[in-house]
Amino acid sequence: MIARIEDAQLARTLAEEAGRVLRGVRNLPLDGTALGDAGDRAAHRLLVRRLAQERPGDVVLSEEAADPTARLTADRVWIVDPLDGTREFAEPPRQDWAVHVALWAGGDLVAGAVAVPALDTCYATDLPALPPERRPGPIRFAVSRSRPPAFAEAMAAELGGRLVPIGSAGVKCASVWLGETDAYVHTGGQHEWDSAAPVAVARAAGLHTSRIDGSPLRYNQPDLLLPDLLVCRPELASPLLTWINRHTTEVTAR
């Protein structure tokens, strides 16, 4: 009898497999939207097929499929983003795109993996990366290339920081646990699949994760939209949350 692969290892394996598929798609004679769409479809098909093989009793919530209502009463739900950073994927040779695979069970995230296929790298909860000591200098804030928080520039200026635009939520979070940035702040809404796997890996690495009002991030909710997110080095959580909540009114109840 073949032993059942552990959930965290499975998340890593599937993220890596989807990453290899995406690298192949990126070599096709396509560009722009056609390339991004082809990548989304191919990675989604791979993940759904493999999860049906490995975890036939689990529910899969994917960005590329209709929301399965069964997830709200399920014990185990895989929350996947087959291609996070479709825009960046469609702009070779950009490297800031990722594959997210996370497992929600018992009311919280219990496993996850973030693959960065362009760098042939995968980070997962079974072998979490531990952030190095913070480099001296300004606080480096990873922010969206296209939709940075409205308060980001003011926060960086007052706290002596600088903004680092990056594509893909997974790559932004990875930049924090790798020590390339110190915090990732997002407002304006994301779907659960955008952050579930990165948050699972960030927690395993010992980073702070929360809403920007400090409340917990909750997944497998009826409303799939998460209004905001903070992932940062633990020593920065208190000063960043204090600043954000003193200067903004963007926090909305969920």
pLDDT band with cut points at 50, 70 and 90 for residue 2:
very low
Q: State pLDDT tens for residues 225-247.
A: 999 999 999 999 999 999 998 88
Neighbours of 177 (CB within 10 A): 24
Domain boundaries, the chain: 7-124, 139-247
pLDDT recorded at residue 51? 97
Give the three-class secondary structure for 90. Answer: coil
Average pLDDT, the chain: 92
Domain range 139-247, CATH architecture: 3-Layer(aba) Sandwich (3.40)
- Helix or strand run (H / E) with residue 144: strand 139-144
Nearest to 112 by CA among 129, 95, 97: 129
CATH topology of domain 7-124: Fructose-1,6-Bisphosphatase; Chain A, domain 1 (3.30.540)
Say if residue 28's pLDDT is above 80. yes
Q: State pLDDT tens for residues 119-136.
A: 999 999 998 777 888 888
Q: Cα separation of 78 and 244, whole Å?
A: 32
Sign of the CA dihedral running 81, 117, 11, 58? positive
